[in-house]
Amino acid sequence: MSSADPVGAGAGTGAVTGQRPDAGPRLGVDPSPFAGRTAVVTGAAGGIGAATARMLAARGAAVVIGDVDPQAAEVVSEVEGAGGRALSVRCDVTAEESVAALMDAAAEFGSSAGGVVGSGNVDVLVANAGIAERKGPLHELDLDHWRTVLDIDLTGVALSLKHALRHMAAADDGRGSGAVVAVSSIIGLVGQANSAPYSAAKAGVANLVRSAGLGYAKTGIRVNAVAPGYVETPLTAGLDESVRSQMTARQPIGRLGTPEEVAEVICFLASDAATFVTGAVWSVDGGYVAQ
């Protein structure tokens, strides 16, 4: 299957007779906005990253997953089984050489894999890899824990941006081309008690993106972030029921989000539908930060 005929792209396009008239393509909506493009998603072995990788592939992208978790191979098999193109590369986002190798492998995959001619660029980066923290009062902070959370949740994003931007800046004869979406959090936009490392890291991601958005604004590169509220993923599944019901109660919409609801906004920001959006941090949070 070529990138012009991506997995799932046929569904709902109106090509099937007998559909409701309103089920066809809306004027101006491209069912394959990522055809011919290569998208790197870090931390896509599960949760929001896996949902994003599947969605990007379904919309035409050749997807490259960088994760420390070998479960990433299963997401690749799923994408391939549905007719899409994907590759998993073991990558620890805290190790610069590992991140550099991921982005180089992605550019190579985009230009040559599967006989499909792509851009040879890293067209999209979703800097999603992250871990939760052990919550506790700041006066009991464990420095090693602080360093681990900051390393993965902030430095890992900075390194991912650096090496994706290295490719993006060289694209289009040096004019630059690409779209970056980093994953911050509501906890990077508003405070949360007993959440020192995670809130500091995620606030860092939000301002990193504003700064990078400005830095590349005159090029063809856009840099944005999403700030999800509480979402049903492996990261939140392990929490005990009382914590989960507190989370639900804090969300004005009255429920946790799904990974797909976050992935939709990531895909929008990564697409040409968002060409006037850069340096922005979009809340995807059921109204959490509107309170």
Ligand X SMILES: NC(=O)c1ccc[n+]([C@@H]2O[C@H](COP(=O)([O-])OP(=O)(O)OC[C@H]3O[C@@H](n4cnc5c(N)ncnc54)[C@H](O)[C@@H]3O)[C@@H](O)[C@H]2O)c1
Interacting residues toward ligand X by CB under 6 A = 42-43, 45-49, 67-69, 91-94, 128-131, 152, 156, 183, 185, 228, 230-231, 233-236
Task: Please give the backbone phi and psi of residue 283, each rounded to the nearest 5 degrees, phi first.
Answer: -75, 135
Supply the minimum distance, in Å, between the C-beta of residue 68 and ligand X: 5
Task: Please give the backbone phi and psi of residue 93, each rounded to the nearest 5 degrees, phi first.
Answer: -65, -10
Supply the minimum distance, in Å, between the C-beta of residue 205 and ligand X: 8
End-to-end alpha carbon distance in the chain: 47
Strands laid side by side in the 62-67 sheet: 85-90, 62-67, 38-42, 124-127, 177-183, 220-228, 281-284
Helices (H) and strands (E) in the chain, counts: 9, 7
Supply the minimum distance, in Å, between the C-beta of residue 98 and ligand X: 8
Count of C-beta atoms within a 10 Å radius of residue 265: 19
**Six-digit token pair at 211?**
């700064």
Q: In the annotation, is 216 catalytic?
A: no
**Of 9 and 68, CB closest to ligand X:** 68
Q: Where are the alpha helices (DSSP H) in the chain?
A: 47-58, 72-81, 96-112, 143-150, 156-170, 196-215, 234-237, 241-250, 259-270
Supply the minimum distance, in Å, between the C-beta of residue 235 and ligand X: 3
User: Among 198, 216, 230, 288, which one carries the catalytic annotation?
Assistant: 198
At which residue do the structure tokens 């035409």 appear? 60
**Of 171 and 187, CB closest to ligand X:** 187
Supply the minimum distance, in Å, between the C-beta of residue 3 and ligand X: 25
**Of 42 and 195, CB closest to ligand X:** 42
Question: CB of 57 within 8 A of CB of 124?
Answer: no
Catalytically active residues are: 198
